Chain A
Amino acid sequence: MTGVQLRNLGIRYGQVEVLKGIDLDIPASEFIVLLGPSGCGKSTLLNAIAGLQDVAEGQILIGGHDMTSVEPKNRGIAMVFQSYALYPRMTVRGNLSFGLKVAKVAKPEIEKRVAHAAKMLQIEPLLDRKPSELSGGQRQRVAIGRAVVRDAGVFLFDEPLSNLDAQLRSDLRVEIKRLHQRLKSTMIYVTHDQIEAMTLADRIVVMKDRVIQQQGTPDEIYNRPANTFVARFVGSPAMNFLNGVIRGNEAVVDGEVVRIASAVSSPLADGRKVIIGIRPEDMAVQTDATPQGLAVEVDVVEPMGPEKLVWCKRGDIGLSTKAASSSSVKSGDKIRLGLTEDRLHIFDVENGTRL
């Protein structure tokens, strides 16, 4: 099976350095997601792995072989694009078999693979249609099918679900996961949608401004974010941030004392300024005064169905929390929010890294 390794990868557009010093080790059969906002460099990285983007320095190894200067068609990869990129004047069958024809694969073999992929993606009835006659979801299945017939060790996905509506997106998300379980190929998936990342990935690589912020399992990314960016980017609604000052084992947040001992890896100096992060679902609405509670006033309540989002204010500070759908909290209520000590995340105030 084919793993992918990136060693000290650097990419330039002319004189501009776009990526530098990227090291990534993707074991075979892993489903890895490159996650980040637009412009963070994830698509550039994917294109480089595909061989569609020149590499200025470093190496790309696929299946153990140095593929840094090898043509895309010879890298053993397959790619699925955001805009499907189906050949408009060919039938679905034509689209699926084109790459194989170019590679001079024997006709019976081509037919076998096309039939197999069509069955896997349930597009058999569409084989003689042209892309313009298909819906968005069908087109994306064909695009995935085109990748499947290549029998490649590595699948590359470039934001494949971004052009689809919400329902289709979740349907196809499941399909892709199923595909991975079935084919067990290595899959490298680029997206800006953190839900896709969390649900699909074995491991997530979070990128921002062309630098890898953190690599880890979805659990690690969510529960132990390496910096404030990762903490804010993953999780909806976003993590709450509060400014605090260290005092012994505790932090003083806007006059309230908060225990933080179990949240930091090593004790911190007194008087140090920190950022304290806590996810909305880790803050509980308290109706009586407790040792660790922040007094806030309820601003807006958004009923989401399974739960309610409660947006609160404390002076200038905005906080969000979740309440049960049966809760009777309403705008204007004065409540206290409890901060669970071991669910706190403490970050450095200068560079945002986890402490």
Chain B
Amino acid sequence: MFARSPSSSRLQAALTLFPVACVVLSVYVGGVLWAAGLSLTRSSMLPNYRFAGFTQYINLFTNARWQMSLANMALFAVIFIPVTLLIAYTMAAMINRGVRGENALRTIYLYPFAMSFIVTGLVWRWLLDPTFGVADVARKLGFESASFDWIVNADMAIFTIIIAAVWHSAGLVMVVLLAGLRGVDDDLWKAIRIEGIPAWKAHLFIIIPSIGASIATALVLMSLTVVRLFDVVVAMTGGGPGIATDVPAKFIIDHMFERQQVGLASAAATTLLLLVLVVAVPLLFLKNRRKGVAK
């Protein structure tokens, strides 16, 4: 129940919102619509408003590089999200049991999040360098024939990016899941123990369903990472070898500025946007509905 607000204050509130409303309208609504509109034109270097129907989209989806980008993004999502969730959940579950030095551990696990994705990419590029990286460590330890050249291997390079991304994100996801686990009623644990349910079953069937909100949050955060993947690719592989690690975000930026095919890039951007909306909005909806029910 809101207290009655005098009309003068309501006016002031509306006025304060005005600049933000302008920004939102011009950028988030207008800009996006304009970009989507551009995808239907022949624009190359500058906007060219000659209507081209869905030509750009056809060009887009027959473009080998775009196909590779999409495939990479899909592969990334399918591996990155479950792996990170698993690692993060295991860490969170262990810490939730009560360990000494929790603060120190948490500080260590979360610090990668404080590093730029560029830094992350560059460091892991160095770590996984075929000549000087982890393979070198193995070789100098005695494993003469050890080699790890994924990063220059067209088929495996994408996995190096996944490794870097998992390192960067696991701590954050762990913190989110830990917050959820901490919200689980102590009595629930006691009931589980009394009933003698084995640990893995307890987590899988009882605990995880009851922290749905945290998991949804973690999923949202990770999905955003997947879609926005750009910096780490630029830093680690530059999209290579060749186009082996290209991702949609990079495809768009490259075509917008370097290759100067604004129409094509806009089509790609619009596609990406639709993808995000299809995935993220239902998740949001679910979260809010849960909140509403909980109230």
> Which chain A residues (67-125) contact chain B, with CB distance < 8 Å?
71
**Chain A residues, Cβ within 8 Å of B1:** 13
Q: How far is the CB of B3 from chain A (nearest CB, A)?
A: 5
Interface size of A as a range: under 10
Contact B6 A47 (CB under 8 A): no
**Chain A residues, Cβ within 8 Å of B4:** 51-54
Contact A53 B6 (CB under 8 A): no
Contact A52 B3 (CB under 8 A): yes
> Which chain A residues (26-56) contact chain B, with CB distance < 8 Å?
47, 51-54
- CA gap between A53 and B5 in the complex, in Å: 9
Which single residue of chain A is at the shortest CB-CB distance from B3?
A52
**Chain B residues, Cβ within 8 Å of A52:** 3-4
Total number of residue pairs linking A and B with CB closer than 8 Å: 9
**Chain A residues, Cβ within 8 Å of B3:** 47, 52-53
**Chain B residues, Cβ within 8 Å of A54:** 4
- CA gap between A13 and B3 in the complex, in Å: 11
Which single residue of chain B is at the shortest CB-CB distance from A48?
B4
Q: For the complex, would chain B's binding face be called helix, strand, loop or mixed by DSSP majority?
A: loop
Which single residue of chain A is at the shortest CB-CB distance from B6?
A71
Which single residue of chain A is at the shortest CB-CB distance from B4?
A54
Which single residue of chain B is at the shortest CB-CB distance from A51?
B4
Q: How far is the CB of B7 from chain A (nearest CB, A)?
A: 10
- CA gap between A53 and B6 in the complex, in Å: 10
Binary flags per residue of A140-175, CB closer than 8 Å to B gives 1, else 0: 000000000000000000000000000000000000
- CA gap between A143 and B66 in the complex, in Å: 66
> Which chain B residues (202-260) contact chain A, with CB distance < 8 Å?
none
Q: How far is the CB of A207 from chain B (nearest CB, A)?
A: 18
**Chain A residues, Cβ within 8 Å of B6:** 71
**Chain B residues, Cβ within 8 Å of A53:** 3-4
Q: How far is the CB of A49 from chain B (nearest CB, A)?
A: 12
- CA gap between A238 and B177 in the complex, in Å: 51
- CA gap between A52 and B3 in the complex, in Å: 5
- CA gap between A54 and B1 in the complex, in Å: 12
Which single residue of chain A is at the shortest CB-CB distance from B1?
A13
Q: How far is the CB of A46 from chain B (nearest CB, A)?
A: 12
Which single residue of chain B is at the shortest CB-CB distance from A55?
B4
- CA gap between A53 and B4 in the complex, in Å: 5
Q: How far is the CB of A354 from chain B (nearest CB, A)?
A: 35
Q: How far is the CB of B10 from chain A (nearest CB, A)?
A: 12
**Chain B residues, Cβ within 8 Å of A71:** 6
- CA gap between A47 and B4 in the complex, in Å: 9
Which single residue of chain B is at the shortest CB-CB distance from A43?
B1
- CA gap between A162 and B3 in the complex, in Å: 21
- CA gap between A283 and B3 in the complex, in Å: 48
Q: How far is the CB of A182 from chain B (nearest CB, A)?
A: 30
B1, B4, B6 — which one has the most chain A CB atoms within 10 A of its CB? B4
- CA gap between A51 and B5 in the complex, in Å: 10
Q: How far is the CB of A305 from chain B (nearest CB, A)?
A: 37
Which single residue of chain B is at the shortest CB-CB distance from A50?
B3
Q: How far is the CB of B295 from chain A (nearest CB, A)?
A: 18
Binary flags per residue of B6-29, CB closer than 8 Å to A gives 1, else 0: 100000000000000000000000
- CA gap between A47 and B6 in the complex, in Å: 14
Which single residue of chain B is at the shortest CB-CB distance from A47?
B3
Which single residue of chain A is at the shortest CB-CB distance from B8?
A71
- CA gap between A163 and B269 in the complex, in Å: 56
- CA gap between A52 and B4 in the complex, in Å: 5
Binary flags per residue of B59-100, CB closer than 8 Å to A gives 1, else 0: 000000000000000000000000000000000000000000
> Which chain A residues (5-22) contact chain B, with CB distance < 8 Å?
13
Which single residue of chain B is at the shortest CB-CB distance from A54?
B4
Q: How far is the CB of B222 from chain A (nearest CB, A)?
A: 37
Q: How far is the CB of B8 from chain A (nearest CB, A)?
A: 9
Q: How far is the CB of A218 from chain B (nearest CB, A)?
A: 31
Q: How far is the CB of A71 from chain B (nearest CB, A)?
A: 6
Which single residue of chain B is at the shortest CB-CB distance from A44?
B1
Q: How far is the CB of B144 from chain A (nearest CB, A)?
A: 67
- CA gap between A53 and B1 in the complex, in Å: 10
Q: How far is the CB of B75 from chain A (nearest CB, A)?
A: 51
Give 8 CB contacts A-B under 8 Å: A13-B1, A47-B3, A51-B4, A52-B3, A52-B4, A53-B3, A53-B4, A54-B4
- Given A47-B3, A52-B3, A53-B3, 6 other A-B residues pairs in contact with their CB atoms under 8 A: A13-B1, A51-B4, A52-B4, A53-B4, A54-B4, A71-B6
Footprint of B on A, CB under 8 Å? Answer: 13, 47, 51-54, 71
Closest 6 CB pairs of A and B: A54-B4, A52-B3, A53-B4, A52-B4, A71-B6, A53-B3
Footprint of A on B, CB under 8 Å? Answer: 1, 3-4, 6
